[in-house]
Amino acid sequence: MENSHEKLPDSPVEEKKAEASTSFIGKLRARNPRFILYASVAILTIIAIVLIPIVLVGVTSRAARRPKPVGDEDHRITTPGSPGYKDPFDDSARSNPYSPPLNQPFSYNDQHRIRGINIGGWLVLEPYITPKMFEQKIGSDESLILDEWTLCERLGPDEAKRQLKEHYETFITEADFKKIAEMGFNHVRIPTGHWALQVFPGEPFVPHVSWQYLLRGIQWARKYGLRVMVELHTAPGSQNGWNHSGRAGTVGFLNGTDGDLNAERTTQLVTELVRFFNKPEWAHVVPVFGVLNEPATMNIPEEKHWGRAKDPF
């Protein structure tokens, strides 16, 4: 009996197919030794044609779903001449048809009359303008908060900075400057505290933060063709003892123990401000500067008066 596990020979038909197949591939190999290489390249090309579009679609889809960073366009670096560049010191705007553009002279007479509005209570707090800031209860001390000095002293430096930044951000916005121009005004007055530039020893005021918002306000004014009067609203030691001078109470400007020192400090601040806003980038949009708001000359010794000049107007 034959072994049942012995391999049976292929049928004649299968033998012919195998022989034909071997013969065909062999002939191709014989005729073209690079057959396998070409076949491999062809297969890889087909795979690439199918897969690459799928990968690209997936990447594009993910990029489209990725949220755009807020304010990204404001942080893109551009230089003069590059696409999308906007000159931050462009003074070609005008507030209304009756006022000249910022880069043209304003005559300050019957031809061009000042139509101005004051932005009070923004960079220098005043209780009657922003009462909520002064009515808050801070700790166990129930005595009244009279001025910005008392407010900052009670809050402490960190909380005072936080609250004031929130106030600066929300009390006045670009929309206000736009509305001012639409109403026909051509000038805005922005009172500024001396702490925007410098805080002196013993003062609890928040230093420098309001300076950033002053410049922001001026840039908004520039955008809508409004001219700005920057005014030093406070002096070290207080120039009048009223709450809008930063500290209510006694007059410490040209008066008292540190009166002369505070006057020298004020002179330095005024000089710095005038030099800064006299630069070409700012001179057109800040053509007017207020040296000091309402100094209480009645409380200043007569020999220390800066001078008695007649009003030229």
In a domain, 225, yes or no: yes
Which residues constitute the domain of residue 59?
12-65
Whole-model pTM: value is 0.72
Contact in structure between 207 and 199 (CB atoms under 8 Å): yes
pLDDT over 90, % of the chain = 63
In a domain, 84, yes or no: no
In a domain, 91, yes or no: no
Residues 121, 54 share a domain: no
Give 172's DSSP letter. Answer: S
Confidence of residue 46 (pLDDT cuts 50, 70, 90): confident
Distance CA 204, CA 129 (A): 21
Residues 139, 32 share a domain: no
Q: What is the pLDDT of residues 105-157, one digit of tens each?
A: 999 999 999 999 999 999 999 999 999 999 998 877 778 899 999 999 999 99
Confidence of residue 28 (pLDDT cuts 50, 70, 90): low
Residues 120, 53 share a domain: no
Q: What is the pLDDT of residues 237-260, one digit of tens each?
A: 999 999 999 999 999 999 999 999
Contact in structure between 172 and 217 (CB atoms under 8 Å): yes
Residues 282, 179 share a domain: yes
- Secondary structure, 3-state, 141-169: ECCCCCCHHHHHHHHCHHHHHHHHHHHHH
* Triad 245, 148, 137: Cα angle to 5°: 145
Give residue 14's Cα distance to chain centre: 84
Residue with tokens 């012919």: 16
Q: How many domains is the chain built from?
A: 2
Q: What is the pLDDT of residues 149-178, one digit of tens each?
A: 999 999 999 999 999 999 999 999 999 999
Residues 192, 48 share a domain: no
- As given in the structure block, the two tokens for residue 118 are 């004051």
Backbone angles phi, psi at 229, to 5 degrees: -105, 110
In a domain, 133, yes or no: yes
The continuous run of DSSP H or E covering 44 comes out as: helix 35-65
Distance CA 136, CA 56 (A): 58
What's the CATH code of the domain at 151?
A: 3.20.20.80
Residues 142, 217 share a domain: yes
Residues 122, 210 share a domain: yes
Beta-strand ranges (E) seen in the chain are 116-118, 187-192, 227-232, 288-290
Residues 247, 182 share a domain: yes
Residues 139, 17 share a domain: no
In a domain, 194, yes or no: yes
Residues 150, 215 share a domain: yes
In a domain, 293, yes or no: yes
Residues 53, 185 share a domain: no
Residues 289, 152 share a domain: yes
In a domain, 24, yes or no: yes
